[in-house]
Amino acid sequence: MDKKKEISAPKELDKAFFANALQNGLHEHHIEVRRIKFSWESGDGEKQSCSQIYRVFLVYAKNEQLDPDVISVMVKVTPIQEGLDLLDAIHVFNKEKWLLMDIIPHFEILLNDIKFAPRCYYATNSPLQALVLEDMDRFGFQMGNMESGLDERHTKFALKKLAQFHAVSMVFAKKRPAMMADYNKGLLDPKVINKSTSFYKMLRKHLGYVIMLTLDWEGFEDITKKLEEFHKNFESRILACQQHSPGDIKVLNHGDFWVNNLLFKYDPRNNPVDLMFLDFQMSIYASLGFDLNYFLFASVQLEVLERWKNLLEVYHASLRDTLTELSYSDIPTYAEIEKEFKRKSAYGLFTLIGPLTIMYMEGISFEKLVVSVCNNEGISKCKRYIECLKYSLLELDKMGAF
């Protein structure tokens, strides 16, 4: 997130807009915004979001004070355009708005002010869909290493906090079950996954490319046949990847929990000491196996992924301890967590043909991916991608994903 430049922005993001945002976020009766400076945005080469994200520096005065203050905020604008309008069908903006404004604050209170996300100062659907968020760069947070993937230290740290998020959501869901009804749709929804959408076409092409790669790999003959069968019945099979099942251990999944949506804070010895989550547009109340498969198969280094059972133990310990602290009964055992992870392993295949492929495509944004079918050939030259893909396919096959 260090790519900074002067940019243009929607005309609606004017002084009146930001004055209203700061009044709401800072709880002030009157604020005058004197200067706006847009210094960064995500749409040029960033891969983490289906929205435009701006870093904005504001010079403002409270109650007509003479000496102004300066604050930086992040503004996330969800555009409606060809290809992305399908995301409006699964209510991505409202889901994130409600989660940041109403649900996560409750989570943080239940856990004695453990923070999960930047504070949302302001949210509006009109004149454009926009969120004004706390700029975590001010507090020393920075993105994890996307190019190499997360090492063991960062992976375990992320899993511990994800488990806290999942645990408190289980408690909250018992208290407010009606609020979870707004989170019954995920990215693999029939409105998004059907033959008319570019996202469907992109995923199907990526799977075809993976099949082509496996044809040259010794020992993958059986997996190739299974993937070819998946490809023939792609629409029904990919929709089934996020299917609810009786007995699911349900949590509020982040829904897009991978390295590009994680901000770490470090101590002087460069050890991670805190973590914030970004981008809750794809959140879904469903099996905890979805977040776990998505994160592990998309975000971590291969040598770390190979120890996935140990990683699940770390996750389970944090989940168990948090649920115990919250006086929650019926705490899942480690065996139940591992079983859930394997039962939802088909979602790991979606991760391989979606987020993992995107991760290795230089300079490709989510917008470009969903509005056009991109060329995959460059990633075949990436040794790390191929090694990760080989290992992941073998493990997912053992779990029965195909």
* Token reading at 319: 């989940």
Q: Which of 61, 47, 120 lies closest to 361, judged by CA?
A: 47
Contact at 8 Å (CB) between 151 and 303? no
- Those residues whose C-beta lies under 8 Å from the C-beta of residue 289, and which sit 6 or more positions away, are 248, 249, 340, 341, 342, 343, 344, 345, 347
Contact at 8 Å (CB) between 13 and 130? yes
- Say how far residue 98 (Cα) sits from the centre of its chain: 16
Is there a domain that residue 387 lies in? yes
Query: Domain total for the chain?
Result: 1
Distance CA 378, CA 355 (A): 16
pLDDT digits (tens, 9 = 90+) for 40-59: 655 443 444 567 899 999 99
Distance CA 46, CA 267 (A): 27
Q: How far is CA 50 from CA 113, 320, 321, in A?
A: 29, 34, 35
Note the pLDDT of residue 1. 39
Rg (CA), the chain: 21
Is there a domain that residue 304 lies in? yes
Strands 31-41 and 52-62: antiparallel
- Those residues whose C-beta lies under 8 Å from the C-beta of residue 66, and which sit 6 or more positions away, are none
Distance CA 13, CA 127 (A): 10
Neighbours of 346 (CB within 10 A): 22
Note the pLDDT of residue 31. 93
Q: For residues 98-104, give the mean pLDDT.
A: 96
Is there a domain that residue 34 lies in? no
Is there a domain that residue 150 lies in? yes
* 55 half-sphere exposure, CB direction, 13 A CA radius: 14
Note the pLDDT of residue 296. 97
Higher-pLDDT residue of 360 and 158 is 158
Q: For residues 274-286, give the mean pLDDT.
A: 96
Angle at 142 between CA 137 and CA 147, to 5 degrees: 145
Is there a domain that residue 367 lies in? yes
Q: Is the predicted pLDDT of residue 18 greater than 90, yes or no? A: yes
pLDDT digits (tens, 9 = 90+) for 126-166: 888 999 999 999 999 998 877 778 999 999 999 999 999 99
Please state the three-class secondary structure of 133-182 as a single string: EECHHHHCCEECCCCCCECHHHHHHHHHHHHHHHHHHHHHHHHCHHHHHH
Contact at 8 Å (CB) between 159 and 318? yes
pLDDT > 70: percent of the chain: 87
pLDDT digits (tens, 9 = 90+) for 288-319: 999 999 999 999 999 999 999 999 999 999 99
Is there a domain that residue 314 lies in? yes
DSSP 127: S
Q: Is the predicted pLDDT of residue 361 greater than 80, yes or no? A: no
The angle that helices 346-353 and 288-299 make with each other, rounded to 10 degrees, is 40
Contact at 8 Å (CB) between 344 and 289? yes
pLDDT digits (tens, 9 = 90+) for 236-264: 999 999 989 999 999 999 999 999 899 99
> Residue 147 is part of which domain span?
100-117+142-399
Q: For residues 359-388, give the mean pLDDT.
A: 60
Distance CA 205, CA 375 (A): 9
Neighbours of 282 (CB within 10 A): 26
Note the pLDDT of residue 44. 42
Is there a domain that residue 324 lies in? yes
Number of residues that this document lists for the chain = 402
Higher-pLDDT residue of 189 and 290 is 290
Neighbours of 263 (CB within 10 A): 20
Higher-pLDDT residue of 191 and 35 is 35
Is there a domain that residue 293 lies in? yes
CATH code (residue 361): 3.90.1200
Report the predicted TM-score, pTM, of the whole model to 2 decimal places: 0.91
